Amino acid sequence: MIKNKILRIGTSVVFFSLLLFSCDSFFSTPIHKILADPRVYAEKTVTVSGEVTRVFSLAFIKYFKVRDATGEITVVTEKPLPKVGAKIKVKGSVKEAFSVGDQQVVVIVEKSQT
């Protein structure tokens, strides 16, 4: 009886641990983690939270920058742009925008509403 209870508790702990660690889309990913190792996050969906520090709109592209306590990243979007200073949570795919030599620009392409 006690063995079964311990087994059920252990199984539950393992299940919920796996669920928590595999669900980046439910929890915010620190921006520095994405920028420090973009290859790990490439093409994966992430969620970041922070403050909007800049917005930019041209006829064919819109983007804004989000800063959390760990860094700042550019978010490309088709949605209406948020206001500078807004606290925001963004979900999107990590992409390499371009690279020159050993420098690269990593962005999040925000998922459109569906």
Please give the model's pTM, rounded to 2 decimal places. 0.73
The rounded Cα 13 to chain-centroid distance in angstroms is: 26
Q: Is residue 37 part of a domain?
A: yes
Q: Is residue 20 part of a domain?
A: no
In 26-86 the beta strands, taken as DSSP E runs, fall at 45-58, 61-68, 71-77
pLDDT digits (tens, 9 = 90+) for 67-77: 999 999 999 99
Q: What is the DSSP letter of 60?
A: T
Number of domains in the chain: 1
Q: Is residue 16 part of a domain?
A: no
pLDDT digits (tens, 9 = 90+) for 25-41: 458 999 999 999 998 99
CATH number at residue 58: 2.40.50.140
Q: Is residue 95 part of a domain?
A: yes
Q: Is residue 89 part of a domain?
A: yes
Which residue range is the domain that position 35 belongs to?
25-110
- 26, two tokens: 């439910």
Q: Is residue 14 part of a domain?
A: no
